[in-house]
Amino acid sequence: MILTIFGATGDLARRMLFPSLYHLHKQGRLPNDLEIVGFARKEFSDEQFCEYLADEFKNLYENVFNQESWQKFCEKISYFQGDLANENDFQRLGTKLAKADTDIQSCTDKIFYLAISPDLYPQTFEGIRKSQLESICEHTKHVRVVVEKPFGKNLQSYYELNNNLVDIFEEEQIYRIDHYLGKETVKNILNFRAANPLFFNDWNKNTIDRIDVTVMESLGVGTRAQYYDEYGQMRDLVQSHGLQLLSLVMSKLPDELTAEKIRNSKTEILQSLYIDNLENDVIRGQYGSGIIDGYPVKSYREEHDKLAESHTETYIHIKANSKLELWEGVEINLISGKRMQSKETSITLYFKSQERVKGIPSKNKLIFQLQPSEGITLDLQVKKPGSNELEVVPMVFKYQDNFRVLLPDAYESLLLDIFKGNKSSFISNEELEASWKFIDPILELWKSSNSRPVIYPAGSKYLQIN
């Protein structure tokens, strides 16, 4: 198996992919025959590239670095200097990969991971097509391609990019990645619902009143300022992470948890979403200066010279609905922002208040927590000792408290799925299309009306829809 990482010296590869691969190597979980090819423009020998990765790794994770295991890991890695705009470099890469097959007289699985900026996708697809890397083996099942979000900037650009992709690769070869789907709590959602009869039957409008998907960060845009200003919070987080989390928690539980059935159930939810009033049910904000953790922080427009007059959103709150009869009338909130009071990623389900016993109203809340720590919380109402008053008491499950193991990084989990050919935690073409169809009218409204985001102080908790 050969994993080729395009953009091997970029931020994603350095901070996420190679550290995840190294950690899997230390655990003995990488395929024994795995070879890793790093493709980038910088001039490195194999040894220099591994030294470069080691320096980066130690800056981030010095406490888990081991020189001996790192050297063993480096035996799997080779470096290929190439330019994504140069067709000849793709031809040379093809020759290198074909030689590896000739040496063992067998066609190895090939994985092409595009750890590059989305604006480089078209030329990369073209380089792959012209050099016929997608058909380097006789049977297409031996070749896979991995693409990151955001895949497109709007519905039209999504169609253009996807058409280029499916012209080269068959759908079964394409792994559209959203790393949130690799988080343990997210992978547990469907299993949790299937294995606990308490939540199995009435997971719909009969018992659930409201669903909130919250993705908050206390950090600003940092070094991603120029990239972020082109995409904004809607494309960068809501269209991907937010809608994926929502579709998982709302999807109809399939009779078996296969990739096809999970993805079809999620697609049904995404296709059902709508917004009553685009102007009133969507808040668009941008952080100003403020205080976080007792320290002053800059406004978004002060983060970089090119942002001085930017109207890019850093906060989104969408109040949505579903056309499905199962979810009719349930309030759906998608909330995501940067430079907020604290870091939080969660899915919260508010169960309907009912009074089955006179004078004792019942109301519960279920929270799937992804950040800052992963776990599940169920709020119950109990009688206070010595009183008839009810008080909310949380029943808390934390992965690290109960299992006492280090949770696998999301990328570790997803890389293993790619190696195994398991697509259950990857996004289908239909899901992405439905996601863009949902948010595209909002983007079009902003563009046509020249609307401006509300400025909120850094350190805010949230902005409220009236």
| Extents of the domains making up the chain | 2-178, 183-408+428-458
281 marked ligand binding residue: no
What's the pLDDT at 30?
Answer: 95
8 marked ligand binding residue: yes
Helix and strand counts by DSSP (H, E) for the chain: 15, 19
236 marked ligand binding residue: yes
Beta carbons within 10 angstroms of residue 429's beta carbon: 17
Contacts of 199 (CB under 8 A, 6+ apart): 192, 193, 366
Q: Are 49 and 75 in contact (CB under 8 A)?
A: no
Please identify every stretch of the chain with a pLDDT value under 70, giving residue numbers as ranges.
135-141, 355-362, 404-408, 465-466
229 marked ligand binding residue: no
14 marked ligand binding residue: yes
Torsion of CA 303, 304, 306, 309, to 10 degrees: 20
12 marked ligand binding residue: yes
Q: What gap in Å lies between CA 76 and CA 286, rounded to an integer?
A: 45
H or E stretch at 38: strand 35-40
389 marked ligand binding residue: no
What's the pLDDT at 113?
Answer: 97
**DSSP string covering 127-149, please?**
HHHHHTGGGSSSSGGGEEEEEES
What's the pLDDT at 131?
Answer: 85
- The CA radius of gyration of the chain, in Å to the nearest whole number, is 24
H or E stretch at 98: helix 87-104
Q: What gap in Å lies between CA 427 and CA 445, rounded to an integer?
A: 27
**HSE-up of 423 (CA within 13 Å, CB side)?**
18
98 marked ligand binding residue: no
Two structure tokens written together for 128: 């792959």
253 marked ligand binding residue: no
Q: Beta strands of 309-374 (E only): which ranges? A: 315-322, 331-337, 344-351, 354-357, 360-362, 365-371
343 marked ligand binding residue: yes
Determine phi and psi for 464, rounding to 5 degrees: -105, 135
Residue with tokens 């969660």: 346
Q: Is the dihedral of CA 253, 256, 257, 261 positive or negative?
A: negative
User: Structurally, what CATH architecture does the domain formed by 183-408+428-458 represent?
Assistant: 2-Layer Sandwich (3.30)
84 marked ligand binding residue: yes
183 marked ligand binding residue: yes
Identify whether 23 is a catalytic site residue: no
258 marked ligand binding residue: no
**Catalytic-labelled residue, pool 241, 304, 311, 317:** 241
- Residues β-bridged to residue 80: 39
H or E stretch at 40: strand 35-40
Q: End-to-end alpha-carbon separation of the chain, Å?
A: 54
217 marked ligand binding residue: yes
- The one-character DSSP state at 338 is S
Q: 2-178 — its CATH code?
A: 3.40.50.720
What's the pLDDT at 142?
Answer: 81
89 marked ligand binding residue: no
Distances, alpha carbon 158 to alpha carbons 79, 118, 151, in Å: 31, 11, 6
Q: What gap in Å lies between CA 24 and CA 416, rounded to an integer?
A: 9
Query: Helix or strand or coil: residue 359?
Result: coil
> Does the reported pTM lie above 0.75?
yes
